[in-house]
């Protein structure tokens, strides 16, 4: 038993409502999430679902803040110093509170206390027997253990669909053809990099001039390799916007080429990964990125107080966005749409301008209805709109992200035609069916929490690469002479990676 009294860092905030005025059963309130366990993430997180005295989930904001305490010892210290951490909590506006924290150092004997006015909620305090490690630590788990700790699914429909195209592939032959093609193509038209994972190390070589987005793919793969022991494999990654492995043409005679992209389409064979946007926000939350899939769940406007109009802001990435401005001007009581920057249609700024001042993404959700219109490809804001507690109206599109196949129209979003011909009609319908569309908004947020949080993003990548390894296992993975090694951060080797529980922590 540890007899040392640990210092406790308590993050306290002013309480808006006295406990006696709240219909909340603190003991029955439910707390869950990977931040209560040993899962290594850039930012750990968990959820608090408030429950009323009748045993029912609270569904409205209670305007309260909790007292959260993380108690633990830094590695190799036996004094009264507590582990350092930064912590945030968000009222999600639906009776739940989102809590997340980032640790900069290895921490042992951790317990997490969740309290309101001195009283514990749920089963608080929550003990984590194993040490927890910061994101920078390179302490990879075996794949089976990773799946168990991160609670990864056994399968994913999009991965199965993508892999089915390449079942029985002679990858050695296809790789030779791809290298020949990419080596001789006009570099101004290419944004392709070949990545190799070999014995836990990362290597790459790139083809084309437009490969600046290697920083996103490098960071993604290095982060994954710090968490799990991936089998050896190699992939070609498209760092551009548009899918590149087109159906028809060469694919009819030579077979489809397996290119990994952030966006898929109905007329391509590209293998889809989570976008660089949602992955970067996973890696850089509470750091360089302010908008991420967790922070966007903060609700500052209650449903009844939201402006009953549809809202869109964005650059002029396609013609339909300009058309939404026309519709907005003809129907200002239903739609507020404007362009924030003109690049693709600069010669039409006089018609569709002036440019609108930028609006904070968090302020989008002052409006009850959110319009999702494609950019150059799929609108990568879609996951954040689904999470934001307004209902999303989504344009029909040939483009898709890795999770689209799991969504259902009129369950998670309201669809409208690609040419926007029925958009106003759909907004009218949404305004007259408030109970139904609120349920759609709730379904969308539930979908995000079940499929698009950081653990899900890591699981998807690992499952994808594992299955790709199985398909290409007859191919000998090697590092070409002109490949460069992608270095790991120096700090990653300074962690003990000792997951054993110390005797004084038992």
3-state secondary structure of 425: helix
Q: Summarize the confidence of residues 304-323 as an average pLDDT.
A: 97
- Find all residues with CB under 8 Å of 266, minimum gap 6, and list them: 398, 400
Decide if 301 contacts 365 (C-beta within 8 A).
Answer: yes
- Torsion 35-462-394-414 (CA) sign: negative
CA distance 19 to 133: 36
- What domains lie within the chain, and their CATH numbers? 24-138 (2.60.40.10), 157-282+455-485 (no CATH), 295-452 (3.40.50.2000)
Model pTM score: 0.93
Please report the pLDDT score of residue 475 as a whole number. 96
Percent of the chain with pLDDT over 70: 92
CA end-to-end span of the chain:
7
Higher pLDDT, 63 or 349: 349
Pairing of strands 107-116, 67-74: antiparallel
Q: E strands of 267-357, at which residues?
A: 271-272, 307-314, 335-339
- Collapsing DSSP to helix, strand or coil, 280 comes out as helix
Q: Is the pLDDT of residue 439 over 90?
A: yes
What confidence tens digit (pLDDT) does each residue in 234-258 have? 999 999 999 999 997 665 546 699 9
Confidence of residue 465 (pLDDT cuts 50, 70, 90): very high
CA atoms of 271 and 56, how far apart (whole Å) = 43
How much is the mean pLDDT over the chain? Answer: 91
């Amino acid at each position: 038993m540890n007899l040392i009294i640990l210092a406790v860092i308590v993050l306290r905030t002013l309480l808006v409502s006295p406990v006696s005025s709240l219909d909340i059963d603190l003991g029955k309130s439910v707390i869950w999430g990977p931040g209560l366990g040993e899962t290594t993430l850039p930012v750990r997180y968990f959820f608090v679902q408030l429950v009323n005295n009748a045993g029912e989930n609270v569904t409205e904001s209670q305007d309260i803040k909790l007292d959260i305490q993380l108690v633990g010892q830094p590695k190799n210290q036996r004094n009264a110093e507590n582990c350092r951490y930064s912590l945030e909590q968000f009222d999600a506006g639906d009776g739940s509170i989102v809590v997340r924290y980032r640790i900069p150092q290895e921490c042992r004997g951790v317990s997490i206390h969740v309290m309101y006015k001195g009283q514990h909620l749920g089963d608080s305090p929550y003990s984590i027997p194993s040490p927890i490690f910061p994101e920078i630590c390179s302490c990879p788990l075996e794949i089976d253990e990773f799946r168990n700790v991160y609670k990864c699914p056994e399968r994913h429909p999009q991965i199965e669909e993508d892999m089915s195209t390449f079942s029985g592939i002679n990858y050695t032959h296809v790789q030779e053809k791809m290298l020949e093609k990419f080596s001789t193509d006009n570099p101004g038209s290419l944004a392709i990099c070949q990545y190799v994972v070999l014995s836990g190390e990362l290597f790459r070589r790139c083809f084309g001039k437009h490969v600046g987005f290697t920083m996103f793919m490098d960071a993604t793969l290095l982060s994954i390799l710090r968490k799990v022991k991936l089998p050896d494999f190699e992939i070609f990654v498209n760092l551009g916007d548009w899918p590149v492995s087109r159906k028809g043409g060469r694919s009819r005679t030579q077979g489809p080429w397996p290119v990994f992209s952030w966006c898929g389409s109905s007329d391509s064979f590209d293998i889809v990964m989570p976008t660089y946007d949602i992955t970067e926000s996973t890696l850089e939350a509470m750091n360089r990125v302010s908008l991420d899939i967790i922070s966007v769940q903060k609700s500052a406007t209650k449903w009844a107080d939201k402006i009953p109009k549809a809202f869109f802001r964005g650059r002029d990435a396609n013609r339909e966005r300009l058309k939404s401005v026309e519709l907005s001007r003809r129907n200002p009581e239903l739609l507020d749409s404007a362009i924030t920057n003109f690049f693709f249609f600069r010669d039409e700024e006089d018609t569709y301008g002036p440019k609108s001042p930028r609006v904070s993404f968090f302020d989008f959700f002052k409006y009850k209805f959110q319009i999702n219109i494609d950019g150059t490809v799929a609108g990568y804001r879609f996951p954040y709109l689904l999470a934001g507690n307004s209902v999303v109206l989504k344009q029909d599109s040939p483009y898709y992200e890795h999770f689209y196949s799991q969504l259902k129209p009129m369950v998670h979003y309201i669809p409208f035609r690609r040419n926007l011909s029925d958009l106003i009609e759909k907004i009218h319908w949404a305004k007259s069916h408030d109970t139904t569309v609120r349920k759609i908004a709730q379904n969308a947020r539930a979908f995000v929490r079940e499929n698009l949080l950081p653990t899900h993003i890591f699981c998807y990548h690992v499952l994808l690469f594992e299955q790709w390894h199985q398909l290409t296992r007859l191919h000998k993975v090697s590092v070409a002479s002109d490949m460069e090694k992608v270095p790991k951060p120096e700090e990653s080797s300074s962690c003990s990676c000792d997951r054993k529980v110390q005797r004084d922590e038992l």
